[in-house]
Amino acid sequence: GAVVSQHPSWVICKSGTSVKIECRSLDFQATTMFWYRQFPKQSLMLMATSNEGSKATYEQGVEKDKFLINHASLTLSTLTVTSAHPEDSSFYICSARGSVYAYEQYFGPGTRLTVT
């Protein structure tokens, strides 16, 4: 089956610094990748959608200058949290879709970000 990995699985950073999270599709080419955020005991909320080679589309209320998304290749998307604050502490999950016509998304294992 299709596998999506994320790196790192957990990260602790100091307030004001930036942190990058990688999402990779290991055995398929992902034309579209999605980034979700999940706060404790809450469900997943879509942050942004990125298509390979294009600018990401952000959901309402998500600051695009704070959450930088790059989808430079068909197997890699990165999410950079810039000038992180404690309120950015959350569980970030990516998913990938093989083509614009596909309906299945494959989810990564998630990255736990803690900002101190």
Distance, in Å, from the CA atom of 11 to the CA atom of 89, rounded to the nearest integer, reads 10
| Choices 22-30, 66-74, 77-85, 90-98 (CB under 8 A): range interacting with other proteins | 90-98
Based on the shown chain and the rule CB under 8 A, indicate whether residue 91 belongs to the binding site for other proteins: yes
Please answer whether residues 76 and 22 qualify as being in contact, where contact means their C-beta atoms are separated by less than 8 angstroms. Answer: yes
Q: Which residues make Cβ contacts (< 8 Å) with residue 88, sequence separation at least 6? A: 66, 81, 113, 115
| 52 or 82: CB nearest other proteins | 52
Based on the shown chain and the rule CB under 8 A, indicate whether residue 112 belongs to the binding site for other proteins: yes
**Which listed residue (13, 46, 62, 76) binds other proteins by CB under 8 A?**
46
Which of 72, 84, 82 shows the shortest CA–CA distance to 24? 72
| 22 or 107: CB nearest other proteins | 107
CA 17, 6, 31, 76 torsion-angle sign: positive
Based on the shown chain and the rule CB under 8 A, indicate whether residue 54 belongs to the binding site for other proteins: no
| Choices 16-24, 40-48, 62-70, 73-81 (CB under 8 A): range interacting with other proteins | 40-48
The amino acid sitting at 60 is: Q
Applying CB under 8 A, the residues found at the interface with other proteins are 6, 34, 41-46, 49, 91, 93, 95, 100-101, 103-105, 107-110, 112
